[in-house]
Structure 1
Amino acid sequence: MQGPASERTSVEKLRSRRRAQVLIVGGGINGVGTFRDLALQGVDVVLVERGDYCQGASGASSHMIHGGIRYLENGEFRLVQESVVERNRLLRIAPHYVKPLQTTIPIFSTFSGVLSAPLRFLTHKQQGKPKERGAFLIKLGLSLYDFFSRDGGTVPRHQFRGRKKALAELPRLHPGIKYTATYFDASVHNPERLTLDVLQDGEKAGLAGAGQARASNYVSLVSLKEAAGTGGGSTVELRDELTGEVFDFTADVIVNTTGAWVDLTNEAMGAASAFMGGTKGSHIVLDHPELLKACNGGEIFFEHTDGRIVLIYPMGDRVLVGTTDVFADMAEDAVCTEAEIDYFIDLIGHVFPDVSVDRGQIVYSFSGVRPLPKNDATQPGFVSRDYRIERRTAARDGAAGGAVVLSLVGGKWTTFRALSEHMTNDVLTELGMERKTSTAKLAIGGGADFPDTEEGIQRWIKAHMSADRDADRATLLLTRYGTRAEDVIAYLDLAPDRLLRSTRELSVRELEFMAENEQIGHLIDVLIRRTSLAFRGLVTGELLNEVSEILSGPLGWDAARRASEITHAQEVLQRFHGVTVDSLVA
């Protein structure tokens, strides 16, 4: 069982090793995906993340797994093709978290934008006032999109509907529409848990294979110290962010997957770079049954009046609305501003004019910085979403030798598996090793043997019910963990258990399981990234108090630490997510 922060098992394993073939810095989905792939090849690999896994841009996405239809007008055909192939793959290998998403585009004109689109394609700039994309352009784009998807067979082709049929299906849509176009992409409702699944797959592969694979959150890279001498590689200084302890670690290859912070990480290693030029994207989450019903179970994806492509779609019993796209100031916190909230309320009215929305229905907001390449001459919406890998040798003050540093520039959720494969191949080349296995058809975590029909899901639920576990509880565990829920249930059944007083979505034993198996560093990790309680606006003072009390045992928190964790959680929710939790229950 995980002990106090000063005795974190994950850090102790790094300190005792001191060296690995590969050190990955950054625990977003691309770093974690590369960790998994390298571990499967038998590489001795370590990953460190300065915060919690999936805490940065990976946890602030639009929760979509998509081919990027709008990238077509940027000319990014390679990226679109790779994206639709990877979308189809993730539907197969991660079916517990990645689900088909019906997407509808409301269209208000027929030929609008036909003349301006070629210029936008060639210059990657919006000339003058945005010209709305009409049915002709959207039909052309969706036909291309279907073409790129042709070999997957996972999602249906697009359909066009006239006004009458469109309004019959979505009666709350703006009555001025002329058509709708419907196609399928996919969504990921639990990106944080999918990231954790990928990470745990990597650690499991390390234990089973010839190499080793260890990871720790709340560990940062402080600086590059020196070349490692005759043994090769370089030594960096790492810091445990929970205790302040500093220790050295040596690696032959360093992989920098710190997203929008890539340049700052390279600077810490003595070689400042200027690769990144990220943009900020914000979202709000609404508890709004009327808007939820208006969406009719599908995403509404459309062009707002400023030319920005935006979205509205249901996520369980909530509605997600996003996103903005403005150049980010890395010196400031990425938070959803009041102006962005005004923008979101306005865009909802653009397509659902008789659905009233106000700030009181917002239960959560979030914002992140996209890890995009620097391009001063390009407007934010046209900055490439593709990725590249930059190579250099780590050497301070002009010294010879040192580890090879591979920096990831760009990358998106949908392509993380392919990107990780690309990065892994580059690392293998540096190490003089060959690939042993592919991840293209390898199920991720709780996606293995996940029921592929509703009947199969119901059979699984019934088989895992008990006197103390009803259908709702079994369903929640399957939703949260996929088929890994079987391991969780086995743990729960080893001792008496009870649901929390403050929520029926967690039990005492489940929290103890998370503390023992999922590297909980702070109370907020449970609320935002191990569950969806914060996302859905379900955090209360009673919940903070009860969860912190239960975690204090396995995590070794004394009364002072427990109080600081509650305060920290309140501050994070208020500062970054617009959520105020005032009262506490003694």
Structure 2
Amino acid sequence: MGPKDSTVQPTVNTPRPGGERASVHSLRRRPHAKVLVVGGGINGVGTFRDLALQGVDVALVERGDYCQGASGASSHMIHGGIRYLENGEFRLVRESVVERNRLLKIAPHYVKPLQTTIPIFSTFSGILSAPLRFLTHKQQGKPKERGAFLIKVGLSLYDSFSRDGGTVPRHQFRTHKAALQELPALRSDVKYTATYFDASVHNPERLTLDVLQDGEKAGHSHGAAAQGDTARASNYLSLTAMSPEPNPGTGRGSTVRLRDELSGEEFDFTADIIVNTTGAWVDLTNEAMGAASAFMGGTKGSHIVLDHPGLLAACRGREIFFEHTDGRIVLIYPMGDRVLVGTTDVDADMAEDAVCTDEEIQYFFDLIGHVFPSIDVTPEDIVYTFSGVRPLPSHDATQPGFVSRDYRIERRATGTDGTGAVVLSLVGGKWTTFRALAEHLTNDVLSELGVQRKVSTAQLPIGGGAGFPADEAGVQKWIKAHMGAGRDADRTAGLLTRYGTRADDVIAYLDAAPDQPLRSTRELSVRELEFMAANEQVGHLVDVLIRRTSLAFRGLVTGELLNEVAEVLSVPLKWDAAARAAEIKHAQDVLQRFHRVETHSLVS
């Protein structure tokens, strides 16, 4: 991406004694690709995978960690976006529903059906104001609550988009008495509930890694023996500048300057096509490439994660999705033994950190009380907070909640003689549609290259979703077959949850030499951390805590854990004592500054 700003998590600038990373070495060894994707969120990684599957020589760089930005700060939902119907975004909703159904099939290890209930407190409210919202994309005056009639119309239309290839049940309505029987903690004046199914992704960071590794694997299989792999990717590698200098071998394309954020070293890289998928930072990346743009107008969304057994029980295993008093659509839903609450939608100041504020936390407490008035939530119940900037288009006076969630691709030719790189900038995009969006971007790139598509990703399993057990009986059978010496059912189930069927490779690695669990958690072992270091481009200690595992999200990071994980990683990542201490301090800073997690290291 472009120049750093304060919204980026801080990095450790301690020189690494271990030498050049393998991912950087592969780019420096052959400093050219037909296509360079800049940005390692889900849309950039999805495009990288699709291009690699077509046999295109493609590289990807990400200035932070994969899925560190907006992709890792989502509401963890794979959904059609029922609320976008009142924005008139029927194409987007239809595509989203189709892609939701696809992901349930091709990524079943991470994408699961999510039963969703809307509590409704009126019958006909909002009928008169809805057309005005639809036409103006603004909320006029005090919000008018959406009543049962409007919600029924919306859900019926929503269901119609699932008619072909649908994998989830149609919606159902409950009246007052039945609604309270199902969800007794709801407000006593609830008139109806409407229940339908969308989907959730509990491990968006790991799904992103799976997509990335699919691309790397495809590039390896397509790679020419003389050149090596045709799909190479590296995190912690930022684009700082671009010059019109072409590739010396072909006389075409442009040269970009790349900086290794872990070592500080810089080198030049050439590409014929540059795909800018840096999300809310698209304009800053274009500015770094010498052509400032004004495409983006992102909004900030925050969430909190609660350890609250009462609220968890009140949800009865389903998402509660509803309209708060300000007209904002919000959500409460259980994720394992935690409860996720979100989200806000306010214009983002890109010069400030994207963090969850005290005002947002109070907003979340208020919305919980709006539907579950008997449940008391306090700041002590919060185990984790996170915020991100949605990559939305510039929207002038349009209120944040009405800004389009659809995407578009902006094309720019560089150079005056037609030999410079073509730059494609992605504006917008959402998690649910990443596969379709990547297909669209890939098709545009293929058109630029004059190449035909070879493979469709529509039915192609993603990573550990290939051969994933179809039901609970299959899951239990898999667990029983993969238990081993020192690995009980819980530990084996945890590996299947974390990796999908790619856990086969992990287990083979674990069993190839003596292993031992960590003292600070039963969820990791020494050799699993070594596997991550060798195969998942771990750059920082905090990458393991936030994005390779869910330990931080669930509030399970302790000082003992920080020290033990850093100690184990220091061997494969060649951290000396100073680097290890810097990594622990960096992890503490990130967790406190961006996630309100306080830890106390045992290292003086």
Residue 498 (str. 1) matches residue 510 (str. 2): no
Which one of the candidate residues 315, 319, 323 is aligned to 2:335?
Answer: 315
Give the conservation status (yes or no) of the 8 Å contact 1:27–1:53: yes
Which one of the candidate residues 300, 303, 319 is aligned to 1:299?
Answer: 319
Give the conservation status (yes or no) of the 8 Å contact 1:37–1:439: yes
Which one of the candidate residues 197, 206, 213 is aligned to 2:210?
Answer: 197
Inter-partner Cα distance in structure 1 for 2:308 and 2:556: 14
Counterpart residue number, 1:235? 255
In structure 2, the residue corresponding to 1:484 is in which secondary structure? helix
Residue 556 (str. 1) matches residue 574 (str. 2): yes
Counterpart residue number, 1:53? 66
Give the conservation status (yes or no) of the 8 Å contact 1:98–1:188: yes
In structure 1, the residue corresponding to 2:244 is in which secondary structure? strand
Inter-partner Cα distance in structure 2 for 1:377 and 1:250: 40
1:567-578 correspondence to structure 2 within 5 Å? 567-578=585-596
Once the two structures are superposed, residues 217-244 of structure 1 have per-residue CA deviations (whole angstroms, 9 ceiling, x without a partner) of 0000010022306520001000000001
Give the conservation status (yes or no) of the 8 Å contact 1:393–1:402: yes
Which one of the candidate residues 11, 14, 25 is aligned to 1:12?
Answer: 25
Counterpart residue number, 1:389? 409
Q: 1:127 to 1:137 in 2, by over 3 A?
A: same
Give the conservation status (yes or no) of the 8 Å contact 2:584–2:601: no
**How far has the Cα of 1:152 moved from its partner?**
2.2
Give the conservation status (yes or no) of the 8 Å contact 2:516–2:526: yes
Which one of the candidate residues 473, 494, 497 is aligned to 2:491?
Answer: 473
Amino acid at match of 2:275: V
Counterpart residue number, 1:456? 474
Give the conservation status (yes or no) of the 8 Å contact 1:27–1:49: yes
Give the conservation status (yes or no) of the 8 Å contact 1:102–1:182: yes
Q: What is the TM-score normalised by the length of structure 1?
A: 0.98
Which one of the candidate residues 133, 143, 149 is aligned to 2:146?
Answer: 133
Once the two structures are superposed, residues 124-147 of structure 1 have per-residue CA deviations (whole angstroms, 9 ceiling, x without a partner) of 000000000000000000000001
Counterpart residue number, 2:4? none
Which one of the candidate residues 380, 383, 391 is aligned to 1:371?
Answer: 391
Amino acid at match of 2:499: Y
In structure 1, the residue corresponding to 2:423 is in which secondary structure? strand
Which one of the candidate residues 152, 165, 172 is aligned to 2:165?
Answer: 152
Q: 1:91 to 1:4 in 2, by over 3 A?
A: farther
Which one of the candidate residues 361, 370, 374 is aligned to 1:354?
Answer: 374
- Percent identity, aligned pairs only, is 81
**How far has the Cα of 1:393 moved from its partner?**
1.2
**How far has the Cα of 1:5 moved from its partner?**
5.2
Amino acid at match of 2:252: G
Counterpart residue number, 2:556? 538
In structure 2, the residue corresponding to 1:222 is in which secondary structure? strand
Inter-partner Cα distance in structure 2 for 1:345 and 1:277: 28
Inter-partner Cα distance in structure 1 for 2:377 and 2:162: 36
Counterpart residue number, 2:282? 262
Inter-partner Cα distance in structure 1 for 2:157 and 2:135: 18
Give the conservation status (yes or no) of the 8 Å contact 2:563–2:601: no
Once the two structures are superposed, residues 355-387 of structure 1 have per-residue CA deviations (whole angstroms, 9 ceiling, x without a partner) of 110000000000000000001021000000000
Give the conservation status (yes or no) of the 8 Å contact 1:227–1:401: no
Counterpart residue number, 2:114? 101
In structure 2, the residue corresponding to 1:554 is in which secondary structure? coil
Counterpart residue number, 2:505? 487
Inter-partner Cα distance in structure 2 for 1:158 and 1:152: 16
Q: 1:4 to 1:148 in 2, by over 3 A?
A: farther
Give the conservation status (yes or no) of the 8 Å contact 2:251–2:419: no
Counterpart residue number, 2:96? 83
Inter-partner Cα distance in structure 2 for 1:346 and 1:57: 25
Amino acid at match of 1:243: S
Q: Which runs of 5+ in 1 are unaligned?
A: none
Matched residue count: 582
Counterpart residue number, 1:581? 599
**How far has the Cα of 1:4 moved from its partner?**
5.4
In structure 1, the residue corresponding to 2:189 is in which secondary structure? coil
Inter-partner Cα distance in structure 2 for 1:357 and 1:531: 26
Q: 1:555 to 1:584 in 2, by over 3 A?
A: same
Once the two structures are superposed, residues 85-140 of structure 1 have per-residue CA deviations (whole angstroms, 9 ceiling, x without a partner) of 00000000000000000000000000000000000000000000000000000000
Once the two structures are superposed, residues 38-91 of structure 1 have per-residue CA deviations (whole angstroms, 9 ceiling, x without a partner) of 000000000000000000000000000000000000000000000000000000
Counterpart residue number, 1:44? 57
Give the conservation status (yes or no) of the 8 Å contact 2:17–2:576: no
Inter-partner Cα distance in structure 2 for 1:259 and 1:368: 11
Counterpart residue number, 2:11? none
**How far has the Cα of 1:400 moved from its partner?**
5.5
Counterpart residue number, 1:251? 271
**How far has the Cα of 1:153 moved from its partner?**
2.2
Task: Provide the alpha-carbon RMSD of the alignment.
Answer: 1.0
Which one of the candidate residues 413, 431, 435 is aligned to 1:417?
Answer: 435
Give the conservation status (yes or no) of the 8 Å contact 1:372–1:383: yes
Q: What is the TM-score normalised by the length of structure 2?
A: 0.95
